[in-house]
Chains A and B, each alone.
Chain A
């Protein structure tokens, strides 16, 4: 079956531009997570949804970052006024339900801010 997909796979943005990154989770998965992975580092948690409810956004680094999942399926991570420090791979993961169930990761979107 289809796994988690993300688009675009690569995005180059000029400093100050807004970007939108899309995540299509596995069908039927209730939980959805966003992580940021800087070069040479492990992924860092950004935010978590259960269905359409954003239950934890404590990892978002600034108010320039915004995530939504309006219908409890597809999610979009938006970054406004991009800065060079936003350059990273953004990973999306979904799981059937919260907790013990495995998080399945997408391939990520590599964002480069020039």
Chain B
């Protein structure tokens, strides 16, 4: 079974500062990793995903994440926070190549951007 750990439910960041959200995963098989964003009263939107190949993946809205197998991590970063980045962010893992199509989510990080 796969699982994800996200620490620090609330993250405050100043506008223009670096956004760093940490995600560590557990998986007995090569994982697929995802970051989703959720705005109030909306569904989840995919920011970026890692399946195979290049370990640094770029997503929408200037976000990127790096898959580090040795650290079992997939941290999300954005160089400069914008007010519109205020939302909840979820890291998720699956293993579709091994018959596991479900997404296992972390508890999420609520990001607050301070002007």
Contacts and interface: CB of A to CB of B under 8 A. Distances in A.
Contact of B102 (A42, A45, A106): A45
Q: Is the interface of A mostly helix, strand, loop or mixed?
A: loop
A91 interface: yes
Interface size on A, as a range, is 20 to 34
A33 B44 CA distance: 13
Tell which of B96, B102, B108 has the most Cβ of chain A within 10 Å: B102
Interface string A30-52: 01010100001111110010000
Contacts, number: 58
Interface residues on B, range: 20 to 34
Per DSSP, are chain B's interface residues mostly helix, strand or loop, or mixed? strand
B108 A59 contact: no
Interface stretch (B45-53, B61-69, B79-87): B45-53
Interface of B: 4, 6, 9, 32, 36, 41-46, 49, 51, 90, 92, 96-97, 101-108
